Amino acid sequence: MTAAVSTGVPALRVEGVSKSFGALEVLRGINLDVAEHEVIALIGASGSGKSTLLRCINLLEPVDEGRILIGGEEITARRVNVDRIRRRVGIVFQSFNLFPHMRVIDNVTLAPRHVAKRPKAEAETDAMRLLERFGLADKAGQLPDRLSGGQQQRVAIVRALAMQPDLLLLDEVTSALDPELVAEVLSVIRELAAGGMTMLLATHEMGFARDIASRVCFLDAGRILEQGPPAQIFAEPREARTRQFLNRIIEAGRL
């Protein structure tokens, strides 16, 4: 993709981020640096704060404390242009959230046309190129309802990519899928990783996290309890909580 000139500035920096919903502390001082082209897997039990962290980075939730910087620019500052930040950060949700009243091609071109203000024909040409790359060209004219879950999720990824984000957030993108549809979505993400896309993904697919991630972060009760290369985290986790979590995963036959 882009020339790998390391500027020294992390693609994403999360500094002491805390977030509560009422009395419930969901994030308790998260610190995380993500370099360009890095793929970070966030693992941890449900409710450990993975999704909330991603939603904070996309500014879908305001943070209570701490700062988030993208490419060195603080996005949690007051008076920041939220819409401009969001163009640089793509997010894909567990439940796809495609726009059901729009054809696939219109789902993909909506933001390029109305946010990036690109001409319709140009946006559609680019959208078709993306759809083709992920084997969805023949679905361009269909409504999302007519697609399988795996196809819908791939369209959702294409929709996020159409804005050419610097950073892609993936929030348990395979959790709502039938098991036989998971592989097609994972292979898309694998291709993106190979292409150098900087990604932060919350996932329950431990095998996948081990294969694809450059670093794995284990979240527990709103903190990053342990992080490191997948080989270390999965083979010799230092923390007892991490071992406990991974043992449960192994017992469930998911690693």
Q: How far is the CB of 232 from another protein (least distance, A)?
A: 25
Q: Which of 75, 59, 92, 53 is nearest to 224 (CA)?
A: 53
Q: How far is the CB of 93 from another protein (least distance, A)?
A: 7
CA–CA separation, 43 and 28 (whole Å): 16
Q: Which is nearer to another protein, 30 or 54 (CB)?
A: 54
Q: What is the 3-state secondary structure (H, E, C) of 193-217?
A: HHCCCEEEEECCCHHHHHHHCCEEE
Q: How far is the CB of 184 from another protein (least distance, A)?
A: 15
Using CB under 8 A, which of 30, 140, 147, 193 touches another protein?
147
118 binds another protein (CB under 8 A): no
Q: How far is the CB of 101 from another protein (least distance, A)?
A: 5
The size of the chain, in residues, is 255
Q: How far is the CB of 32 from another protein (least distance, A)?
A: 20
* Phi and psi angles of residue 14, each rounded to the nearest 5 degrees, phi first: -110, 125
Q: What is the CA radius of gyration of the chain?
A: 18
Antiparallel, parallel or unpaired: β 198-202 and 89-92:
unpaired
245 binds another protein (CB under 8 A): no
48 binds another protein (CB under 8 A): no
Q: Which of 238, 150, 248, 152 is nearest to 206 (CA)?
A: 248
Using CB under 8 A, which of 114, 120, 238, 248 touches another protein?
114
Site for another protein in 154-213 (CB under 8 A): 159-160, 163, 172, 175-179, 204
C-alpha separations of 67 from 13, 91, 212 in Å = 8, 19, 27
101 binds another protein (CB under 8 A): yes
Q: Which is nearer to another protein, 7 or 164 (CB)?
A: 164
Residue 210 CA to chain centroid, in angstroms?
Answer: 16
Q: Which is nearer to another protein, 159 or 215 (CB)?
A: 159
Binding footprint of another protein on the chain (CB under 8 A): 58, 60, 83-84, 86-87, 89-91, 93, 95, 97-101, 110-111, 114-116, 144-147, 149, 152, 159-160, 163, 172, 175-179, 204
